[in-house]
Amino acid sequence: MTLSPQKPFKLGFLSHAFGEDPRQAYRDLLEQFEVAEALGFDGGWIAQHHLSSGFGQLPSPLVLLAAVAERTRQIELGTGVIVLPFEDPIRLAEDASVLDSLSGQRVQLGLGSGGANLDNFTAFGLDPAQRQAHFEAQQQQLQQLLEGAPLHADLSLQPPACGLRQRLWHSHGSVAGAAYAARQGNGLLLGTATHDPLTVQKPLADAYLHAWRDTTRAPRIGVVRAVFPAHDRGSAQAELAIDIERHVPRLRREGLIDEALDLDAHLRLMNVHHGAPDDIVHSLRQDPALLSYVDYLIVVTQAESSTQAQVLERLRIIAEDIAPALGWRAKHGLATQPQATVG
């Protein structure tokens, strides 16, 4: 086998804080961060879910990450993503800056326009049709605040946000949006929604890189992938079946899946990499929007009915076996090096 040079990337995980009992879901999240840090993960990212419309239990990632910051020392604290139209940009800038101070500048702030939250706009007194314009106005205001721009009467953001401006990310579903993220000098998050890697995500990544103009800093692409290692493909599918089929009606409604297909096809359409570690390494290498683009690989290891033990075991296998085979090296933590393979 020939060694292809792989550009260095960071490894993170993303959690949607699933679970019946929110208090337990938060405790589990805290433990996931502690375990991931010990395994050498570079970051943990939390999705924001509002109100009772879905399965995610956490509307306040920055409040939860402040708790995580007290239990960890090095791991980066990401949001993947915050629904920006529902936020007051000043309050968000303040909360993010306080968290950044508390955590020793570990925040990575991912932002989205709320495409997966259309039902929630009316509860926040907003019109979902305006969400893209809303996003751009608020994101620019947020950036100005983080840069310390003066407001009325020369007031400015307090506490000052040291460098947080350089740690913003956008999630976009359109080529125009990806190019916009580049022009703003921000990172691009791919795969936060169910988008096809070849026909949707790859063009987004290309448009983003093409539109990047800042010569002082490099573009950065985060790629979210569902990664469910198990003993073999059959046992991985058995663990996943209930949760995948639960999504099928919604995905059909949203036009992302054309018709009822079998579980194998659904897993493929939803970009779920599963099976034995070798199977997963193989399928991630085939992913057309992954290894030649990724600066931050962000794995999802929790489905709605996953147990905490399953999530932690998947994180371990990813840090010890899968990510190293793709070229990732832990910068810190206790990760053991994979054994050299012969052959």
Partner 1 sequence: MSGGFSLGFLTRVYQPRFDAKVYRDTLELFRVAEELGFDSGWVAQHHFASEQGRLPSPLVLLSAIAQRTRRIRLGTAIIVLPQEPPLRLAEDAAVLDLLADGRVELGLGAGFDPDTFSAFELNPEQRHGRYEDHLQRLHDALGNAALNDQGLQLRPAARGLGQRLWEATSRVEQVAARGNGLIMAPNPHLPVEAGVELVQRYRQGWRSDHLTAPRVVRVQAVFPEGGDDTALRQDIQAYVRRQQTIGVLDASLGGDLGAVLERLGVLHGSSTQIVEGLRRGPQLGVHDQLVVQVQTTSTPLREAIRALEILRQHIAPALGWRPGVAINRPLEEPVQA
Contact residues for partner 1, defined by CB under 8 A: 22-23, 26, 49-53, 57-60, 62-64, 66-67, 69-71, 86-88, 90-91, 94-95, 98-99, 101-102, 119-120, 122-124, 151-153, 155-160
Mapped onto helix, strand or coil, the DSSP state of residue 326 is coil
Q: What angle do CA 111, 77, 25 make, to 5 degrees?
A: 95
**Residue 245 to residue 325: CA distance in whole angstroms:** 31
Query: Cα dist. 105→75, 100, 146, 163, 191 in Å?
Result: 10, 5, 13, 8, 25
Q: Which is nearer to partner 1, 105 or 235 (CB)?
A: 105
- Minimum CB separation of residue 32 from partner 1 in Å reads 15
The minimum distance between CB 60 and partner 1, in angstroms, equals: 4
- Minimum CB separation of residue 18 from partner 1 in Å reads 12
User: What does the alpha-carbon distance between residue 165 and residue 127 come to, in Å, rounded to a whole number?
Assistant: 28
Q: Is 256 helix (H, G, I), strand (E, B) or coil?
A: coil
Q: Which is nearer to partner 1, 49 or 220 (CB)?
A: 49
- Residue with smaller CB distance to partner 1, 151 or 238: 151
Q: What is the torsion angle, in degrees rounded to the nearest 10, for the CA atoms of residue 312, residue 247, residue 264 and residue 301? A: -10
Shorter beta-carbon distance to partner 1: residue 91 or 217: 91
Q: Are 221 and 187 in contact (CB under 8 A)?
A: yes
- CB nearer to partner 1: pick between 90 and 256: 90
Residue with smaller CB distance to partner 1, 58 or 182: 58
Nearest-approach distance from CB 192 to partner 1, in angstroms? 20
Residues with Cβ within 8 Å of 331's Cβ and at least 6 positions away in sequence, in order, are: 40, 42
Q: How far is the CB of 306 from partner 1 (least distance, A)?
A: 19
Cβ proximity to partner 1: between 45 and 212 the closer is 45
Inter-CA distances, 160 with 63, 297, 306, Å: 19, 29, 40
Q: How far is Cα 113 from Cα 111, in angstroms, rounded to an integer? A: 7
Helix, coil or strand: residue 225: strand
Cis status of the peptide bond prior to 160, with omega within 30 of 0: no
| Minimal distance, residue 172 CB to partner 1, in Å | 23
How far are the Cα atoms of 29, 161, 172 from residue 65, in angstroms, in the given order? Answer: 10, 17, 23
Of 101 and 184, the one with the shorter C-beta distance to partner 1 is 101
Q: How far is the CB of 156 from partner 1 (least distance, A)?
A: 7
CB of 110 to partner 1, least distance (A): 17
